[in-house]
Amino acid sequence: MTQDIHGASAAAAAGTGTGGWWRNAVIYQVYVRSFADGNGDGVGDLPGVRDRLPYLAGLGVDALWITPFYRSPMADFGYDVADYREVDPRFGTLDDARALIADAHAHGLRIILDLVPNHTSDAHAWFRAALAAAPGSPERARYLFRDGRGAGGAEPPNDWESVFGGPAWTRIPGGQWYLHLFDPAQPDLNWNDAAVRAEFEAVLRFWLDLGADGFRIDVAHGMVKAAGLPDVGRAGQTRMLGTAVLPYFDQDGVHEIHRSWRALLDTYAGERIGVAEAWAPTAERLARYTRPDELHQAFNFHYLTAPWDAHGMRAVIEESLRTAAAVSAPATWVLSNHDVQRHVTRYGGGAEGLRRARAAALLTLALPGSAYVYQGEELGLPEVLDLPAEVLQDPQRRRGEGEGRDGCRVPLPWSGEEPPFGFGTGGTTWLPIPPAWRDRTVAAQDADPDSTLALYRNALRVRRGHPALGDGPLRWLVGPPGTLMFVREPGGPDGAGGAGTPAGRSVGCAVNMGDRTVQIAAFGAPLLASGPVRAAGGRIELAPGTAVWWEVA
């Protein structure tokens, strides 16, 4: 078995106590095609990621979650997998993947891969075999083929809708229909079939043996379908943020799959983890995915969708902490990802949106548990709202489903005064980078002590070194209207901070979400602020859209 970067034992990994690197981890999401281009074709790839590992290590994150790079026709940009054991030529080779994992470990970074188990590509060998086979065959049993309803079976088997819009069924020559809860090019697998379960266990082992430190599980709530595939009615089929909370998702049977995967992960040295991308109707239902014998984390979309409002944000934080604690799991916090509008824009855009986004970063990194950083948020990147129609590529938009996700997937600007801003050696990028981003490049922000990049680096440095941050307790303070204030006290699972950190010191955090400047009682010296603050006489003056950390004396 492959040893992890810290040489932890399999026995330690199998424990269900409060320890574990993932409980405190800051995990950086790499959207491969938009991160860095290693071969000059304008599309990000694995060699590009490998070249930028020193940047990520210097940023101060603990792990990388890398979006799918498997062989794929790219009907949904890699979330339609044709071969789970091969790298798509657009992104490199299997040797590139091996080298990336090894180099990341050498830089002290763990690698979390994206697993897509709810569906395959329609180009997968299994689905091609199913189309060539007869109804009732073992090949078709791996997917969800059904006869239609009505005269001649001309109507879909039930009323389910695709998350991407339209019926969730497509008819094939010969008359049967197959289920696809997403695009027709993404046929859903039948997780009641033993061959499907055995195949994915083998896929997990394949990547774990290559050194992967864990998996982010796409649509972790979706693999098991409601028994009998019953109609649900249109009123129950609601969507939010490009995915869905639908009555045929979040079936209890998914938890048996996750238990089996947790048992497999625990046989490997180095605390390999599973992270659920699960949409559930309540925080209590979401917490079920992280019970001690299931997955290690679940994305907290309730926090991502919380409004810029102190009352609403506090309610989400309290509910998240309460439900995570009920199953002894760490809470997770995420502000943006590759499927939603960047939070600089969600929080108002322009200077106001950036101020709030910087404050939200300090809030997020001060909360107990694990945090996720979407590539480019450390640069303060906004959503690109004015991409020319002729360059838009998101399949959702091409299907007429909303505005699409291209705006949050624009390639990163690294250096230089004009596009492609050092993204690669070529002169183009698969989506154009706005010329206005010349002031937001890594190089432009690198030496600026007031830049958003500097804020993230400093916050991650303090978070990693201070005994009161990371996982552990939170105590709310009473602050002025429109503010969130709390204290983080030492006592998390790891118990000690970095060299030179005073033992027993607490950290306070305050965020002004109101529209007026306020004064707060800090009881100590500021450690870090998202914008200008004035401190005197044990009080800190906090402008709107500003956050501050202070060390409690």
Distance of alpha carbon 181 from alpha carbon 245, whole angstroms: 12
Question: Could you tell me if 541 and 351 are in contact, meaning their C-beta atoms sit under 8 angstroms apart?
Answer: no
Please list the residues that pair with 110 across neighbouring strands.
63
Question: Is residue 32 left, alpha or beta, with left meaning phi > 0 and alpha meaning psi from -120 to 50?
Answer: alpha
Cβ partners under 8 Å of residue 279, min gap 6: 221, 243, 244, 245, 249, 250, 301
Answer yes or no: are the C-beta atoms of 208 and 160 closer than 8 Å. no
Out of 218, 250, 319, 339, which one is annotated catalytic? 218
Q: What are phi and psi of 243, to 5 degrees?
A: -125, -155
**Catalytic site residue 352?**
no
DSSP string covering 408-473:
G-PPPP-SSSSTTTTSSSSS--SSPPPGGGGGSSHHHHHT-TTSHHHHHHHHHHHHHH-TTSSSS-
Bridge pairing between strands 546-552 and 506-512: antiparallel
10 Å CB burial of residue 150 (0-12, 13-18, 19+) is exposed
Helix H, strand E, coil C: the string for 514-542 is: CCCCEEEECCEEEEEECCCCEEECCEEEE
Sign of the alpha-carbon torsion through 182, 186, 187, 192: negative
Q: Quickly tell me which residue has 């699409």 as its tokens.
A: 404
- Peptide bond between residue 420 and the one before it cis (omega within 30 degrees of 0): yes
Q: What is the CB-side half-sphere exposure of residue 170 using CA atoms within 13 A?
A: 16
Residue type, 243: T
Catalytic residue, candidates 139, 277, 383, 489: 277
Contact 392, 48 (CB under 8 A): no
Q: Side chain identity at 246, as an amino acid letter?
A: L
d(CA 222, CA 390): 34
User: Quick one: which H or E segment has residue 64?
Assistant: strand 63-66
* Contact between 402 and 240 (Cβ < 8 Å): no
Q: Can you tell me the distance from the alpha carbon of 34 to that of 430, in angstroms, rounded to the nearest whole number?
A: 8
> Would you say 64 and 32 are in contact if contact means Cβ atoms under 8 Å apart?
no
**Tokens at residue 98, please?**
């091996």
Virtual torsion, Cα 22, 27, 32, 37, nearest 10 deg? -130
Residue 218 designated active-site:
yes
Coil, strand or helix: which one is 337? coil
Would you please indicate which residues are annotated as catalytic (active-site) residues? Answer: 218, 277
